[in-house]
Amino acid sequence: MNRTWMVLPWLVALALPLQASTYVGNGGNAGDLDLSITLAAIRDSLVELDSSSPNLCRCPEELAESEICGVLRALTAPQVQFCREMILQHKDSLVALMSSDGDLTFSWADETLKVQSNHEDGKRVVDAVAQSSRRSIILNRARFLEMPKSFRIALVTHELFHLVPFGDGYFTDQQAIPPYRDGRTLLDTLGAAIAMNAHDTGVIADFRHLDNVSRAYRPYVFQLDFKTVARSDGAAQDLLAPTNQDGAALTFEYKPHALGFRIGVERTALSSRYQGQLQVDETHSLISLGAGYHWFPVTARLSRWSETHLAAFVDTVYGSAQYRVQDHAMSLEDAGQVLGLQVTGQVSLPAVIGFWGILGCQARYLQYRYESLNINIKDLQRVLYIGGAYAI
């Protein structure tokens, strides 16, 4: 059996997804905040435990309707006792394992995780895998993020126990551990017990302020920005216009991972009087297509700011420009096709329930011509914008 579980990690390694990002406390991944909350809840729950904790491994009456609590309700007295002993015996090891001094690492898997089993194809789909030799735990990101908090606590506790020494080796799912049928059943119970204890003792509530923080892993982002555009002096002079104009842009981005793709529509307009005599109006209607990369500079784990991320985008820009200059007697008008390129840097600040605050800057080059007025515009613009986004 020991050989079995020794082999398991290698077999699991074969099933590892090609894409896996590492959480090493530096941020940078969707789900990091939720994992941080889960680990903190487990830790705080363990620290408070002692032999006098009455509800440990039992289902409190007020949580009786919880699915996880049902696992505890089905335990026999010896199983309850064994559960309590295991937790109290190993709680210090678990806390040490999760400490910043420990060598435990977590990884996200965006593909399905499978382990060896007795199934027909010899594999079983799992939500997480522990690799004792590497001191690492791999979590299926999508599944983890879908789970309620108590399930996350139970899952991670289960995997943590795989890294705790037991007997000649470590806890495994297959080994028989009386009074439990096997290691898997025991570790599921231990996970449920910690999850219920976290609820019962109010640890879960301690992190409620982070529940509504907008999460960066949401892939569909709708963003509305209000822009101030500073134009090049040459373009402004050619158009008898001021160098500043205002606008708004609406963007949709799909970012399944750190890389995102986006499409946007933008309208900027200026209306001014030149030397108090001429009314000058220009409007740009633009469409942008581009891609960007997001990364997370903030390392504070249990903070909303860990969801803060920076992004850099490159977009091609296409659209139309309309121009009119007029006085009391006549007007001159023309329109032209706009082509351009823009690079953007922005910071996304998490608000709540999917909303974000956005600050950004752009440098872009637009080129167009008003044929009948014989005006060629080559405009290097600097843009500042502030906006908001909603991600789902």
The SS3 of residue 203 is helix
CB of 372 to other proteins, least distance (A): 9
CB of 239 to other proteins, least distance (A): 8
Q: Which of 14/330 has CB closer to other proteins? A: 330
The tally of CA atoms less than 13 A away on the side-chain side of residue 283 is 7
Q: Which of 172/245 has CB closer to other proteins? A: 245
CB of 329 to other proteins, least distance (A): 4
CB of 383 to other proteins, least distance (A): 24
Question: Strand 244-254 and strand 259-274: pairing?
Answer: antiparallel
Q: Which helix (H) or strand (E) holds 229?
A: strand 220-230
Q: In the complex, which residues of this chain contact other proteins (CB under 8 A)?
A: 237-240, 274, 277-278, 325-330, 332, 373-375
Q: Which of 112/376 has CB closer to other proteins? A: 376
CB of 374 to other proteins, least distance (A): 8
**Which residues lie below 8 Å from residue 313, measured CB to CB, with a gap of 6+?**
262, 290, 291, 292, 342, 343, 344, 345, 346
CA-CA-CA-CA torsion for 203, 183, 21, 304, nearest 10 degrees? Answer: 0
Q: Which of 42/325 has CB closer to other proteins? A: 325
- Angstrom distance (rounded) from CA 17 to CA 22: 13
CB of 275 to other proteins, least distance (A): 8
The SS3 of residue 125 is strand
Q: Which of 117/279 has CB closer to other proteins? A: 279
Q: Which of 124/273 has CB closer to other proteins? A: 273
Cβ neighbours, 10 Å, residue 135: 13
- Secondary structure percentages of the chain, helix, strand, coil, to 5: 30, 40, 30
